């Protein structure tokens, strides 16, 4: 019997929150460099999490994020002053949410399935971001990699979700816009769903077919379809039991 759905769990950065919404402020501070600074900052941030996890040199995500900003500014030859740094870090703490998020999350809550965030961000970063986006009350749990002091894609991070909902991985729909993240989620055993906002092809990492869509609205339909299949299976099993009971009674 297929594992019943127990929760829908979302990555935060790039999935719920637009990491490149910092580009506008970066452009104000460093005209002509905003998008380049944003892109390099995000790339180096991720690379630092992977290197630190592989090497067992964990520091919290806000430290990683600040270090990546400093590197990126230096690499682009920008004179990052203390005020620039603090303004950009504050902006990162309250990234813009994607426009369909709130309505999609509310639709998912109507299904009666718990929702959670599972992210590299520290608890404080995630609380601030969720509140500033008006989404804090829509989540039952906010799960941070800081708890295990490792970053994605370490399995211990994904295991936070199964522990939180006391279920097997297949009982969780895991949603991420990051190809490497959703692939690792599929390897872990989640019902993985990739939100492909930029039209990139699937990763070539032998994870099998991973469901995909272009926004959180498509996640709603994925969950709706899964719940529909589960109801149909439950109805079929109940019908089989009734027929079996009737046959047993008739033979007595």
Q: What is the pLDDT of residues 78-116, one digit of tens each?
A: 999 999 999 999 999 999 999 999 999 999 999 999 999
Fold of 7-16+96-233: Rossmann fold (3.40.50)
Is 206 marked active-site? no
Instruction: Report, as an integer, the average pLDDT of 118-136.
Output: 94
Burial 87-122 (b: 16+ CB within 10 A, else e): bbeebbbbbbbbebbeebbebbbeeebbbbbbbbbb
Model pLDDT for residues 150-160, shown as the tens digit of each residue: 999 999 999 99
Place of tokens 């990051």: 178
Binning the chain into helix, strand and coil, the percentages to the nearest 5 are 60, 10, 30
Q: Which pLDDT band, with edges at 50, 70 and 90, does 244 fall under? A: low
CATH topology classification for 20-93: DNA polymerase; domain 1 (1.10.150)
pTM score of the predicted model = 0.91
Beta bridge partners of 175: 10, 193
Whether the bond between 153 and the residue before it is cis, its omega within 30 degrees of 0, is: yes
| pLDDT score for 235 | 72
> 14 Cβ partners below 8 Å, 6+ apart?
176, 177, 178
Mean pLDDT of 20-38: 96
Question: Looking at residue 1, what is its pLDDT?
Answer: 43
Q: Output the pLDDT for position 240.
A: 62
Domain ranges of the chain: 7-16+96-233, 20-93
Q: Residue 233 — pLDDT band, cuts 50, 70, 90?
A: confident
Q: Which residue has the higher pLDDT, 30 or 252?
A: 30
């Amino acid at each position: 019997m297929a594992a019943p759905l127990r929760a829908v769990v979302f990555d935060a950065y790039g999935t719920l929150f637009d990491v490149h919404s910092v580009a506008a402020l970066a452009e104000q501070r460093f005209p002509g460099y905003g998008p380049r600074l944003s892109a390099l900052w995000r790339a180096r941030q991720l690379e630092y999490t992977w290197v630190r996890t592989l090497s067992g040199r964990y520091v919290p995500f806000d430290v990683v994020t600040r270090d990546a900003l400093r590197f990126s500014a230096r690499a682009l030859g920008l004179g990052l002053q203390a005020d620039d740094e603090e303004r950009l870090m504050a902006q990162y703490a309250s990234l813009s949410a994607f426009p369909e998020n709130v309505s999609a999350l509310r639709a998912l809550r109507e299904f009666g399935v718990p929702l959670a965030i599972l992210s590299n961000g520290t608890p404080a970063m995630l609380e601030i971001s969720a509140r500033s986006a008006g989404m804090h009350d829509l989540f039952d749990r906010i799960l941070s990699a800081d708890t295990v002091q490792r970053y994605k894609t370490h399995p211990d991070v994904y295991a936070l979700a199964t522990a939180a909902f006391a279920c097997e991985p297949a009982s969780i729909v895991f949603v991420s816009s990051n190809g490497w993240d959703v692939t690792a989620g599929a390897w872990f055993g989640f019902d993985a769903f990739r939100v492909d906002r930029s039209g990139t092809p699937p990763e070539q990492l032998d994870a099998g077919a991973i469901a995909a869509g272009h926004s959180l609205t498509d996640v709603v339909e994925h969950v709706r379809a899964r719940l529909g299949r589960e109801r149909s299976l439950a109805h079929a099993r109940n019908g089989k039991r009734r027929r079996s009971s009737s046959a047993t009674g008739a033979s007595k």
